[in-house]
Structure formats: structure tokens, C-alpha cells
Structure 1
Amino acid sequence: MPTARELKDALFDAMNAHDLDRVLACYSPDAVYVTPAGVAEGHEQIAWQFEHLFKAFPDLHIAAWYKVECDDPAVTEYTLVGTHTGPFLLPDGVESAGTGRRVVLRGACACATENGRIITDRDYYDQLELYCQLGFHLEPDQAA
């Protein structure tokens, strides 16, 4: 049975290959994937998250640069790079067309496993850093 570290490494390999089947094979059918953009529960929602990411950043590549060596959970710091050329859903529900901008995003994640699959995967990155690199700007609320 794979360790949490082996599963997380396999997940990063599948992400770099943009192989959705391999991505989902890392997760338990009832897994929970938590990101700053929201929570995905189960394969259907997790698949939607990764499909969206692969379409928005077709050259997406993720590289782990620090791995905590422990049994469970697997903790990893990474850099994600990609060019925004496809549709990207913003927090207000509006879909942004590709900007052509390249992003370099640092993040960290922790995943827990059970029975050889990821059951919870928590991904942490600075959403504001991502949006700024994409060329989006904060605007004050008119009521403020």
C-alpha cells in the first residue's frame, strides 16, 4: 500500500501529465480537497477542480521543493507555474478569459491517507498573489 508521501508524489506526477484519471486514482472516492478557492468533496467535484485548472493553465507544472518525511500526513511545499490561456473562474462567479500571463505561485499542502488513497488534501497558497499575477486588481466595495 502506498504511503502518504508516495501518493502525494504520484499526484504531482499526474498533475504534471494533466492526466485526470491518474489524479483521481490518488484520491479515495469520498475524499475532500480544500483550497483557497473552495472545497471539493468526492471524485466528481475534485475532477471539476483539476479540469478547470488544466484548462486555465494548459502548461501547468508543479514542482515540490520541500517534503516533510513522515508517515502521515504528507506535507509538501511547492511552486506551481503556468500560463493563463484558458477560462478561469473568479470568486464572484465570473469567468475570466485567458490573459496570457505567466504565474509563479508558491504553496504548501498536506494530505492524509487511508487504505492507500488520499482522504483529505489541504492546499494553501496566496490567492491575492495569484490574482495580482493574472493582472486582476482589488476594488473597494461601494458600500465601504
Structure 2
Amino acid sequence: MVDPPVSSPEALLARLVDAVNAHDLDALVACFAPGYLNETPAHPARGFTGAGQVRSNWQRMFTGIPDLKARVLDQSIDGGSAWTEWEIGGTRLDGAPVLMRGVMIFTVSDGLLAGVRFYLEPVDENGDDVNAAIEETTGVAATAPERDLS
């Protein structure tokens, strides 16, 4: 049996996290409106519409990462908008670790998740430092930092 829509965004988010951690695909999909809109601003081609794609995505996540767990590190609810910071991790079937962190900004309507602006990304533990990242973005190499004379 699928749970009915909930009255508060906080309760809906708790139900979503519980469904993810229980790997309960039906309960997870029941948190989403049929016309759910996923916008992924950093990767626009990854956006999609519909709870059917939510089901497909999470079915593959549960299959490929059998020990997958999620937690909301922080959240701020304002009316029908829920700003959430997530950490999702586990181990793939091939033994590779998975760790993703980021923000999901949900729109809640009629007790269901109606949309999201999705900013969840794989964690890059061994990536470039800040100077290399700024150089990659700007094309300008780092100079010696200015001394703080205060």
C-alpha cells in the first residue's frame, strides 16, 4: 500500500529519506507528483519530467549501489519551497565507493514533490585545489597571495 500525500514538507522529506534508506521504490516514487520536473542547472541535458523517470533512476541506484544510504544534512522550509543539503553514499557492485553531496531545492505542492533544482554531484576527494580550479575557470594562473596586514 502506498502512503497518501503528507501535509507538511518536513514530513514529506522525512518520508523520502526513509524510503531511500529502506530501498522502498514504491514508497519513494509515491513522494513525487506525476508531472514532477527535475531541473539540473549545471547539466541541463540531465533534466527530465515525470515520476516514471524517478522510478527508473532510483531502481538503477538501488540495484547498482546495494548499500546506498542518504541523509539530509540541513534543510530550510519556506512555504512550498524546501532547500535541502544531501549526502548519499554506498558501494557499487564492482566495489567502487560512491559519495555524492549537494543541494536539492524542492517545490512541494499538494503534499508531493512537484519539482527540484538539482545540484547533487559526486565528491572529488583528490581533485584540484582552489588555485587550480580558478585557473581552469579563468585561464589565469595563480600569483602569490597578498599578505594580510591587518
TM-score (norm 1): 0.71
Correspondence for 2:80: 72
Tell me whether 1:44 sits opposite 2:39 in the alignment: no
Counterparts of residues 81-120 of structure 1 (less than 5 Å): 81-85=89-93, 98=94, 100-120=95-115
Q: 1:128 Cα shift?
A: 7.1
Moved more, 29-38 or 74-83: 29-38
Q: 1:67 Cα shift?
A: 1.2
Superposition CA RMSD, Å: 2.2
Correspondence for 1:91: none
Instruction: State the AA in 2 paired with 1:3.
Output: S
* 1:53-104 Cα shifts (integer Å, max 9, x gaps): 111111100111111132221111121111011xxxxxxxxxxxx3x11222
Q: 1:45 Cα shift?
A: 1.3
Tell me whether 1:58 sits opposite 2:53 in the alignment: no
* Matched-pair identity in %: 28
Tell me whether 1:32 sits opposite 2:37 in the alignment: yes
Higher relative contact order (CA 8 A, sep 6+): 1
**Structure 2 gap segments, 5+ residues each:** 1-5, 128-150
Instruction: State the AA in 1 paired with 2:90.
Output: G
TM-score (norm 2): 0.69
Instruction: State the AA in 2 paired with 1:44.
Output: G
